[in-house]
Amino acid sequence: MAGRILRRVSGSLRYRLLVLVLFPVLLVMPAVIGMAYLWSNEVSYRQLLMKVHTDLAVAHDAFVRSQDRFLASLTLTAESYDFRNAMRTLLSGFREDYLIEEQLVRLGKEAGFDFVHLLNLEGCHYLGDGRCVLQNSPLLDQARGNEPAAGVEIFSATQLRALDPELAERVYLELVDTPRAVPTERVAEDRAMVLHMVYPVRNSFGEVRAFLAGGVLVNRNFEFVDSLRDLVYGGGSLSEGSLGTVTVFLDDVRINTNVPRNLGAPQNRALGTRVSREVREQVLDRGESWIDRAFVVSDWYISAYEPIVDVHGERVGMLYAGFLEAPFRATYYEALKWLLALFLGVTVLCVGLAVSGARSIFRPVEAMAQVIRRVHREPDLRIGDLDSGDELSELAHQFDAMLDQLQSQHEQLQASAEHLEAKVRRRTADLQENLDLLKRTRQQLVGKEKLAAIGELTAGIAHEINNPTAVILGNMDLLMSELGSAGEPVRHEAQLIIDQVYRIRAIINNLLQYSRPSDYQSPVIQVDVNQVVKDTLVLVRHDLAKRSVRLRLDLRAGTRVGGNPQQFQQVLVNLMVNALHAMADKPGRSTLTLRTRTWQNQGVLLVVRDNGRGIPEAVLPRIFDPFFTQTRGGTGLGLSVSYGILERFGATIEVRSREGVGSCFFIWLRKEPVVDREGDALIEGIA
């Protein structure tokens, strides 16, 4: 089968040229689809890791601020008039304990403390039986220095029972056998992670006479962990169908989480499950953060972990933030599916047009070739009228005329020969030899006439084919010249087309010689930022004129920076387009300012300023987040992609904005070479 197809292709000019035209398309399309898949997958995954890293930072900040909030509640009570009055009474020797106890109970209920105690200078209970459960806390040492203190402490089951037996029962948690976790002989977790706060209580002379201590259990404190999740993963922060989660670990055990044990029952929290060996070794053993995808309980999550350090400076647990990976993957594959369908549609359309065009172009040529092959058997055979109406139709008409002329000449020669033969037959036998010579002469003459006709036909065909081939060669040279370095990926295919066109011309030249022998390197460079700004203005000139925006240029940078001008243009276009959108409600009064200055001896400062509506203060911290946008129809990727481009070259971007006044972006571009985190050289060869 393959051999028959190969013979058919090699034996037909139409099929050879068709294969020549379609081969680059069929080769390039899969390569483009593959590169698009790899590139988009890498970019999407990096964006997800950047987001979860930011989510962990927000969760960490909320975790720390919760300690400050509880300490503030403790401070307000300790400095209140009622409490200080009750303490004066107590310190003066009057044991009216109920006054203090009432305020401690009220503080616990209103502020959410799990226990609140008044301690003496030795760390024992000031009231009641004088138990000394909290005397070894480093927070007391800090409070003795007249400073309030707060931090994370781990309380054993014994300490909890001494404080309140109900607390010990509350934190008891059976461990769940978890795949990939470090093997352990423990069957339960009975310790508690406590947010512990201590405030020094002073007398009227400013001397520390007691301590007000309060604690909040993190174990099973669902209100606490859900508030962290709502802060990190508020409405609109994740794609539809995704699930944002926050977890607090004691050692490697989930003691408080909103990660479901099964996605089908989200109310069933994965308490008692344990983290994998890989995460434990990196976070708890080595003290490093984990930013990567991870299998969490029952599904894959984009995850971020960081160690929790207690008041003794030891790593006692982990803080986790993450979201389901599956919805993002589904969205990505859906977009890739449509991209593949688009490429396939374009490929089918190109193939159909090429086949149809080749058929219409080569039908006259094939008709002429068929007539040439059969004309010696059927002298009256002709091509006839063609419907194309182009040069080939005219060539076919001329070819028929030449065949008519050739047949007429042949008939005349035949009549002359017959007349001559009649005369010869009447001559004597001595002239027989001359008659044979005459016959040979006649045959040679007929052959030369036919050869002359074929030569004229070939010359016409050569003229009609050489013209299109000359156009193909000229346009291919122009195409590759215009593409420049951008045409490198298809340079081999373009050269293949040029070589085959030269082969066509060689075949025509050989035929002419037979019939009429008497006639026949995205380079990384040093970038001039001022020139990049000027080149970028060409791209947005139409939008500036359309929106009647006045442009102010102040380009005074006197040094070059290391980078890529096309990527810097992309960043600048994003900023200018955003500025034009921000100034859309100020027709005729809009001003866009572009300024460059030499930045000390380090590089160039580029400033983009507009007098648009400005960015709300609540939105400003999120403008570089991926998928965050306030522009209708926007993707939310412009500023995040620009941020990534600048980051890869070691550049820095900052923004200042006021609502109703405008926004100003500051970009610091470095002139020294920069190497990314993976070690790939981003800039080479810069002097």
Q: Per-residue pLDDT tens for 72-128?
A: 988 888 888 878 877 877 777 666 666 677 778 888 888 889 888 888 888 887 776
**Structural contact between residues 132 and 117, judged by C-beta atoms closer than 8 angstroms:** no
Mean pLDDT calculated for residue range 183-190: 90
pLDDT of residue 210: 86
Question: pLDDT per residue over 469-509, tens digit each?
Answer: 887 888 888 888 888 888 788 888 888 788 778 867 766 76
Beta strands in 187-329 (DSSP E): 188-189, 192-202, 208-217, 244-250, 253-257, 260-262, 265-269, 290-296, 299-309, 315-324
pLDDT of residue 256: 93
Question: pLDDT per residue over 130-143, tens digit each?
Answer: 677 777 788 888 88
For residues 257 and 244, what is the distance between their CA atoms, to the nearest angstrom?
A: 11
Looking at per-residue pLDDT, the higher value among 145 and 561 belongs to: 561
Mean pLDDT calculated for residue range 618-635: 76
Instruction: Mean pLDDT check: name the lowest of 180-189, 383-392, 565-574.
Output: 383-392
The CATH 3.30.565.10 portion of the chain extends over 526-670
228-237: long-range contacts (C-beta < 8 A, 24 or more apart)? 228/59, 228/62, 228/63, 229/258, 231/58, 231/59, 231/62, 232/55, 232/58, 232/59, 232/62, 232/321, 233/55, 233/323
Checking if the pLDDT of 432 tops 80, the result is: no
Question: pLDDT per residue over 235-253, tens digit each?
Answer: 777 877 788 999 999 999 9
Checking if the pLDDT of 287 tops 50, the result is: yes
- The whole-chain average pLDDT of the chain stands at 80
Question: pLDDT per residue over 8-41, tens digit each?
Answer: 555 565 566 666 666 666 666 676 666 666 665 5
pLDDT of residue 129: 65
From residue 596, how far is each of 173, 557, 592 by CA, in Å?
62, 5, 14
Range ranked top by mean pLDDT from 395-409, 427-441, 605-619: 605-619
- Nearest alpha carbon to residue 511 among 448, 560, 462, 446: 462
Checking if the pLDDT of 677 tops 50, the result is: no
pLDDT of residue 359: 66
Identify the band that residue 308 occupies on the pLDDT scale cut at 50, 70 and 90. Answer: very high
pLDDT of residue 62: 93
CATH of domain 526-670: 3.30.565.10
pLDDT of residue 687: 32
Identify the band that residue 318 occupies on the pLDDT scale cut at 50, 70 and 90. Answer: very high
Instruction: Mean pLDDT check: name the lowest of 252-256, 285-289, 434-438.
Output: 434-438
Checking if the pLDDT of 146 tops 70, the result is: yes
Instruction: Mean pLDDT check: name the lowest of 166-175, 228-237, 269-278, 641-650.
Output: 641-650
Checking if the pLDDT of 457 tops 70, the result is: no
pLDDT of residue 605: 95
Return the percent helix, strand and coil in the chain, to nearest 5.
55, 20, 25
- Nearest alpha carbon to residue 258 among 308, 302, 305, 223: 223
Checking if the pLDDT of 686 tops 50, the result is: no
The CATH 3.30.450.220 portion of the chain extends over 51-329
- 399 is written with which tokens? 């070819």
3-state secondary structure of 231: helix
Instruction: Mean pLDDT check: name the lowest of 29-38, 577-586, 656-665.
Output: 29-38
Mean pLDDT calculated for residue range 178-195: 90
Architecture of the domain defined by 51-329 = 2-Layer Sandwich (3.30)
Identify the band that residue 219 occupies on the pLDDT scale cut at 50, 70 and 90. Answer: very high
pLDDT of residue 566: 85
Checking if the pLDDT of 462 tops 50, the result is: yes
pLDDT of residue 673: 53
Looking at per-residue pLDDT, the higher value among 52 and 330 belongs to: 52
Q: Is the pTM of this model over 0.85?
A: no
From residue 43, how far is each of 37, 536, 578, 586, 682 by CA, in Å?
10, 25, 22, 36, 17
Looking at per-residue pLDDT, the higher value among 333 and 443 belongs to: 333
Mean pLDDT calculated for residue range 194-207: 87
Q: What is the CA radius of gyration of the chain?
A: 44
Mean pLDDT calculated for residue range 550-564: 91
